[in-house]
Structure 1
Amino acid sequence: MDVEEKKPVLAGSLDGKEGRRGIFVFATPEIEEARELVATDPVIVQREMVAEYHKLYGSAAMMMINDVHNRIQKK
């Protein structure tokens, strides 16, 4: 995944309910670009997980999550 281009906005684990174990939110203009980014994930390649794709309309402030996290995380 292209972290330098800030494509992954948010990623994390889920509780596993309904078989959902994780989430990625990408800053891409089209879902197809997100598909290309996810296609290289080892759990997708090895078919341990199957990805679902949805459009998310949220705050533009989401683009700041990684920068803010890096400033306030405990080291």
Structure 2
Amino acid sequence: MKYIFALAIFFCVGFAANVQAQNPAYNKALADSLGADDNGMKQYVLAILKTGSNTTTDKEELNKYFRGHMENIGRLAKEGKLVVAGPLGKNDKTYRGIFILDVKTVEEAQKLVETDPAVKAKIFDIELYPWYGSAALPMYLPASEKIAKMKP
């Protein structure tokens, strides 16, 4: 009985070892250029933008901060530091939007988000979290330029 049990465990371990097979479509040069690990993933930082403590209602002032916010998003995207940005729909929290920053540490991300005029003015507060996602994520940016009919 012990031998059958040991044999069953041996086959299970052997099967588990064979579950991960080499991907025939793997492109080493592309994976290396994107900083991908063996799973095609890499470390990013997720930023959640929340309503900040600045509750100004001055439309001109708000427009200035949001214009600076959008310009900062564009700059960070051009520098390759920001790979995703967008607003969130209405929710029962104070969440307003997200960024996914192509940096390895929360400290690096903190320095980047501090360049946002709306963050500096406390229109937005930011929560930062390490996030592990597809290394191919930045590849969608060139395509998005070609499908957006209007520019913000």
Higher percent of residues as helix: 2
- Aligned partner letter, 1:34: A
Aligned to 2:60: none
Local SS of the residue matching 1:52 = strand
**1:55 pairs with 2:130:** yes
Which digits, 9 at most, give the CA deviation of each residue in 1:20-69, with x for residues without a partner? Answer: 10111100011111110100111111111110001111111101121121
Query: In structure 1, how many angstroms separate the alpha carbons of the residues matched to 2:118 and 2:124?
Result: 6
2:124 aligned counterpart, secondary structure: coil
**Is 2:45 the partner of 1:3?**
no
Give, in whole Å, the separation in 1 of the partners of 2:90 and 2:123: 13
The residue that corresponds to 1:36 in the other structure is: 111
> 2:90 and 2:122 mapped to 1: Cα distance?
16
Give the TM-score, by structure 2 length: 0.45
Gap runs ≥5 in structure 2: 1-74
- Give the number of the structure whose alpha-carbon radius of gyration is greater: 2
Q: In structure 1, what is the equivalent of residue 32 of structure 2?
A: none
Q: Is the 8 A contact 1:10 1:65 kept in 2?
A: no
User: Which runs of 5 or more structure 1 residues have no equivalent in the other structure?
Assistant: none
Q: Which has the higher contact order (CA 8 A, sep 6+)?
A: 2
Distance across 2 between alignment mates of 1:2 and 1:23: 14
TM-score normalised to the size of structure 1? 0.85
Report the RMSD for the aligned CA atoms in angstroms: 1.5
